[in-house]
Structure 1
Amino acid sequence: MKMMIISTALALGLTSHYAAATPAKGSFIASQSCDMYQSKRKGTNPGSLESSPGETYPIIEVDAQEAHQVNWVRVKTTYNPSPDRWVSASCGDLSNLVVDSRGGGRQGGDPQCHYPGIFDSHVLAISWQPAFCEFTGRNKPECKSLTPNRWDASHFTLHGYWPNKKSCGRNYGSCGRVKTKPATFCDYPALDLAADVRARLGKVMPSEASGTCLQRHEWWKHGTCSGLSEDNYFTLAMNLLQQVNESGFVSDYIDQNIGKQTDRSAFQAAFDKEFGEGSYYRVALQCKQGILTELQIALPKDVTDTDKMKDLLSAPGVVGNGQGNCPDTFGIDAVN
């Protein structure tokens, strides 16, 4: 596994010698508000432009790690005088992506990117709910009702569990009958979850309990590619999340730093102490305005309910997600 270590100067750009900007076409559908950089390397953002959730932007270029994982997309906006902007690929979905193969890229529009069961790895995406609510979801019911004493104020919540296929990058998905993203998550077909699974999911994915339907998007975009039933897919994801939340990494490090500033070296030490030396390099830290919003944890292809997170993080042959966009020093949000 190749490890990417980002210095302060590169924290925004993921510009290691593994990354390559390549012409591409397709659409970027924003799912959250993220900075849109004129220069991601320098972190310049004239006009403080941000992506608008639900808006679709034409893609003109991608920046990919080893042509496997698209980390950044360059899109067309209506902003003048600098309309072409870089935005993190983790801030939305890629639709009908085709990368110019002459530039060393890959054909993300390959129909095999939408076939179930042919993935080669996974990503467990877990969110820090206070930051999500501050920056993106403050008008959502699950955020309006968030209090400092609620479970998700001090534990990671489930964003998603994503099967990946190297040749498709982030475009692997939508393997069921629903091929395009509807106007809202609640416009997806409803899920037929067992009562106990739905109850458990309502705690760790507050959107489910509040009726804003993130669980539908995660199933139709990602779960349909897993080869699992709806119940088994979410149960596996929740079991993995539980291992993180019940670990000393959360109780001894995250909990002690809520409402404070921390840094990558402290995060690395705490994560490696709990899950094994070098496990930190499987985690991409995503931030918004210097605040931690999400962990994206790279996992192997074969994962079962009995697997221990420590063993999964030491499995060979798993390509990491880069180190994310968090600066060297970042905050862990508390509920306001």
Structure 2
Amino acid sequence: MRSWQRGLWAGLALLLLVSAAPADTALERLPAEGFEHYTLALTWHPGFCSTHDRPPRECREPSLQAQTAQGFVLHGLWPSLPQRFAEQGIDRRSWWREGCFLESPRADGSFCRAHPPFGFDEALREQLDDAMPGRASCLDRYQYAKHAACLGLPEEDYFAASVTLVEIVNESAFGAFVALNQGGEVHRNDLIAAFEAAFGEGTGRALRLECHGRGNRTLTEVRIGIAADRLADFPARDSLVAQDRGRCATRLHIAVFD
């Protein structure tokens, strides 16, 4: 093991003791039939906003930026190619690009036209507002319409599970490592090592790093593969599934809002 890896394992050991989370009823309620895994897409909001040519509302309003102080925020929870779509000859790339819009084409216009407003109770609305500042641009409605509506995933269960997953990652040693390094640079392998320190040796294959900006040097998102039938066990090692590698530079900037 390299010296920087030993240091990370030692430095994060105490955090690891408190970061493991038991199965949550929100995760147990979400159905998982007809597809193999989820991809949990978590945005590093300052990085996303700083590399976006036309920043959306959640990047422009200070009150919405402030919601990101807890760490990663929710982009989406994406089921893999459903078996019934595969049987129709639809490939993974088409599903990834279009999702449920293959069956019910998306209405033209903003994300707000993708799906009617949700009627969540106050507690879930507040949790989702904190976890997903993109709700200001109707990102929640677009994500559900594209990735979940055609799979029979109940709206409330889908977002309650998503909020729980965000909290687990942010409260983990991995989330703490990223938060502690915001405003600076880290080696790409240090991020992977921090993930393995939090979730188990070899789990780094379940992590995909997304970067944008000049030279792909700014961290904008992480994506985590989770077995659909093991969602309630997340973040146990056996609940994680491999992801394709991202396209990030060797050293990454972890942006922070001014």
> What TM-score, normalized to structure 2?
0.74
2:128 is the counterpart of 1:201: yes
Change (3 A) 1:117 1:221: farther
- What is the aligned partner in structure 2 of residue 61 from structure 1? none
Change (3 A) 1:235 1:164: same
Number of paired residues? 213
Q: Note if contact 2:58-2:64 (Cα within 8 Å) is conserved in structure 1.
A: no
- What is the aligned partner in structure 1 of residue 139 from structure 2? 214
For residue 184 of structure 2, the aligned residue among 241, 260, 269 is: 260
Change (3 A) 1:194 1:270: same
How much does 1:169 deviate? 1.4
2:173 is the counterpart of 1:237: no
- What is the aligned partner in structure 2 of residue 271 from structure 1? 195
Q: Which amino acid aligns with 1:329?
A: R
How much does 1:286 deviate? 0.4
2:86 is the counterpart of 1:171: no
Whole-Å separation in 2 of the counterparts to 1:187 and 1:136? 22
Q: Which amino acid aligns with 2:172?
A: S
- What is the aligned partner in structure 2 of residue 83 from structure 1? none
How much does 1:263 deviate? 0.9
Alignment of structure 1 residues 107-256 onto 2, 5 Å: 117-136=33-52, 139-146=55-62, 150-165=66-81, 167=86, 168-172=91-95, 173-174=99-100, 178-180=104-106, 182-195=108-121, 196-208=123-135, 210=136, 212-251=137-176, 253-256=177-180
- SS at 2:94 equivalent: coil
Q: Note if contact 2:64-2:133 (Cα within 8 Å) is conserved in structure 1.
A: no
Q: Note if contact 2:59-2:65 (Cα within 8 Å) is conserved in structure 1.
A: no
How much does 1:126 deviate? 0.4
- What is the aligned partner in structure 2 of residue 322 from structure 1? 244
Alignment of structure 1 residues 295-334 onto 2, 5 Å: 295-304=222-231, 306-309=232-235, 311=236, 313-315=237-239, 318=241, 320-334=242-256
- What is the aligned partner in structure 1 of residue 12 from structure 2? none
How much does 1:170 deviate? 4.0
Task: Provide Cα deviations, 1:161-186, integer angstroms capped at 9, x if missing partner.
Answer: 00002853143321797333633201
- What is the aligned partner in structure 1 of residue 13 from structure 2? none
Alignment RMSD: 2.5
Q: Which amino acid aligns with 2:100?
A: S
How much does 1:237 deviate? 1.2
Change (3 A) 1:147 1:263: farther
- SS at 1:314 equivalent: helix
Whole-Å separation in 2 of the counterparts to 1:324 and 1:225? 28
Unaligned runs of 5+ in 2: 1-31
Q: Which has the higher contact order (CA 8 A, sep 6+)?
A: 2
Whole-Å separation in 1 of the counterparts to 2:129 and 2:105? 26
Q: Note if contact 2:65-2:257 (Cα within 8 Å) is conserved in structure 1.
A: no
Unaligned runs of 5+ in 1: 1-115
Task: Provide Cα deviations, 1:281-327, integer angstroms capped at 9, x if missing partner.
Answer: 111100002100000111112144x4231x2x4347x4x33110111
Higher helix proportion (structure 1 or 2): 2
Q: Note if contact 1:286-1:295 (Cα within 8 Å) is conserved in structure 2.
A: yes
